[in-house]
Structures are given as structure tokens and as C-alpha cells.
Amino acid sequence: MANFIDKKFYNLIMEFEQSDFYEIYTHIVRSFKGIPLLTQNSLESYFNKYPYWGKFNTNEENFEVFHKKAKTFKENLKDYIWLYEELADYRSKFLLFSILNNFYNFDFLDLKNATEYAFKQYFDLNLVPKCNDEVFVDVGTYIGDTVLDFVKSYGEDCYKSIYCYDITKNILEQAKYNLQHLPNIRFMNKAVANINGEVGIEVNSSSLSANKTSLDGKEKIVCVKLDDDIMEPISMIKMDIEGGEKNAILGAVNQISNNMPKLFISVYHNNTDLFEIPKMIKEIAPDYKLYLRYFGGCVYPTEIVLICLKDK
């Protein structure tokens, strides 16, 4: 017999099934126009600051972001159902429903209720209660905040070595400063993807945290596959690299399949990462158990983390 979370999720899926694309799209636009004007303006500013999901201009009625959401809903219902049924706990299932419900109805309450407050981002102690002798790879280190959260969560004796990758040199220098008290950390000013070579950097004028790799970027940087750049077995990987996560995973297939490291991967930088990245992981290593956790705000879901753990 279904519980209330199952009912909510499948009722929403049924609504998508029974609606055509235009009905879904107009419903999203109507829901957006029903929220406070200040929140509308804040969302428009955010979408233009971080243009992951499409163009957005309320004055011109350009809602490409919503158009792409509606298209993803209509074309990928089976993928959402697959993900829901693969998720290993009901906190993850409720979060998935809350994300879709926010996209569709701009419902803020369920998303707020699905947000994690008890633990540091990425490190849910219910899922990973302790760490010992970890070889931790932080892809998208930024200023070292994730590494600091890691040692605060598990202690400074919880790891054997840490590798910090970031494409922005001055940001990595800040990470070095912030982590200077910790031993056995290697700082790698490199891009991580599915090739060994060179790629460009696309600089985000609003925030250095949103810099990403690009074929058109004028500034060049060395690009590596984790399988080739790290010789020891990896036991933990975190990835938050502005939409480059899928290529980075492809460059770590051997590490993932052979060692099944704990994975903490951002799955919100485009409309299909939410289900495509879990499918990639399960194809590489079918024995992973999948969880979703959320550490963002209640207005629009970012900071969605896929956690993949070896099934004991």
C-alpha cells in the first residue's frame, strides 16, 4: 500500500502524463506569475547570473528556462520514475518529489521541508557515519570549504590523502591558505574531464565559483582524467564543476568500477543531470545505492547532491 510520498510523486507524474507540453509550460509560467513580485525578480536575476538552464526575461516574456523544464518533464517521465524507484530511502524520494513540485508549481514549503540542516553539505552522518584513511578527491575545490566541512565532520585523522582540483588559480591559492594547517593535501590547478590534454576556461563575470571549462575559452588549462592522474585507489569523490560532472565521471570509470568510492556529485547544473548522472553511475557500478540530499534554499532547487554508496 502506497504512503503519502508515493502518492504525491505518482499523482504529479500522472498530471504530466495527462498534459501536453504546452499545458505543462503554461502551468509553470502561471505558477511563476503567482509568486510575489520580489521573488520573481530575485529568480530572474539568479537565472541570468547563472545561465545553466536557459534564457529568462520577464519583460520580453522570454521564459526559455520554463520551456526547457516542460520539455524535460514531458520527454523524460520514465527517467524520473526510474530514479524514484532506485532511490534508497524516503528522504531521497520526498526530495525528488519536492524538486519536481517546485519546478512545476513553485511550491516552496515541501522544498524547505526536504532541506538538510543537521549536517555539513555532502556529509550526511546518517549515510556515512565515519571515515578512516580516506583518499578524498575534491573536484571543484573552490576555497577549500568542502575539505574543511569534511574534517569538521569526521576529524583531522579521517583521511590518508586529499586531492584538491580547481580550474581557477587564484581561488586555489585561497584554498591553500585556508587548508594550510592540514597535512597530505595536493592542490591541482587542472580541469577534470574524460580527456587528457588542454581545455579553455569560460569565466563567469558574476562569480568565480561558476567558472567552467569551455572549448571556446581563451585561457587554457591542463585537463586530466582521474583514472590517469591519481595512481592510488580513491575512496571518496566530490564533484561540483558547473555542469562538467558527466565528463569527469567518464574520466574516472576505472576508479569507480574497481574501487567503488563514496560519491558526492552535484546534479543540478542542467535539466537532465538529475536522472542522467545516476544512470551513468549505475551503468558503471550497478551495486551502488543511490541517495539525494538537498542543501540549497527553498525558492529554487540548487545544491542537489547525489550520494552513491557501496551496497554492503
Domain end (from 266, 292, 307): 266
- Res 103 pLDDT > 90: yes
Residue at 232 is within a domain: yes
Residue at 194 is within a domain: yes
pLDDT score for 9:
98
**Can you tell me the distance from the alpha carbon of 73 to that of 204, in angstroms, rounded to the nearest whole number?**
28
Instruction: Tell me if 267 sits within 8 A of 307, measured CB to CB.
Output: no
Residues 146 and 225 in one domain: yes
Residues 74 and 167 in one domain: no
Residues 108 and 20 in one domain: yes
CA nearest neighbour of 221 among 255, 172, 278:
172
Q: What does the pLDDT look like over 193-215, one tens digit per residue?
A: 999 999 888 777 666 666 777 76
Residue at 69 is within a domain: yes
What's the Rg (C-alpha) of the chain?
Answer: 20
Residue at 129 is within a domain: no
Residues 105 and 155 in one domain: no
Beta-carbon contacts of 37 under 8 Å, excluding residues fewer than 6 positions away, are none
Question: How many domains would you assign to the chain?
Answer: 2
Residue at 127 is within a domain: no
Domain end (from 245, 266, 287): 266
Residue at 118 is within a domain: no
Beta-carbon contacts of 71 under 8 Å, excluding residues fewer than 6 positions away, are 21
pLDDT score for 126:
96
The bridge status of strand 236-239 relative to strand 159-165 is unpaired
Residues 156 and 209 in one domain: yes
Residues 145 and 33 in one domain: no
pLDDT score for 200:
86
Q: Residue 144: which region, alpha, beta or left (left: phi > 0; alpha: psi -120 to 50)?
A: left
Q: What does the pLDDT look like over 224-276, one tens digit per residue?
A: 999 999 999 999 999 999 889 999 999 999 999 999 999 999 999 999 999 99
Residues 104 and 148 in one domain: no
Residues 147 and 261 in one domain: yes
Beta-carbon contacts of 255 under 8 Å, excluding residues fewer than 6 positions away, are 226, 227, 230, 233, 234, 237, 261
DSSP 277-301: HHHHHHHH-TTEEEEEEE-S-SSS-
Q: What does the pLDDT look like over 170-200, one tens digit per residue?
A: 999 999 999 999 999 999 999 999 999 998 8
Residues 68 and 149 in one domain: no
pLDDT score for 201:
80
Residues 152 and 259 in one domain: yes
Domain end (from 58, 84, 113): 113
pLDDT score for 2:
80
CA nearest neighbour of 45 among 163, 154, 207, 162:
207
Residue at 15 is within a domain: yes
Number of Cβ within 10 Å of residue 229's Cβ equals 18
Residues 33 and 100 in one domain: yes
Residues 84 and 151 in one domain: no
Domain of 197, in residue numbers: 134-266
- Res 6 pLDDT > 80: yes
| Band (104; pLDDT cuts 50, 70, 90) | very high
Instruction: Tell me if 175 sits within 8 A of 231, measured CB to CB.
Output: no
Q: What does the pLDDT look like over 11-62, one tens digit per residue?
A: 999 999 999 999 999 999 999 999 999 999 999 999 999 989 999 999 999 9
| pTM score | 0.95
Q: Which residue has the cell 553511475?
A: 281
| CATH code: domain of residue 171 | 3.40.50.150
Residue at 306 is within a domain: no
CA nearest neighbour of 50 among 276, 230, 204, 273:
204
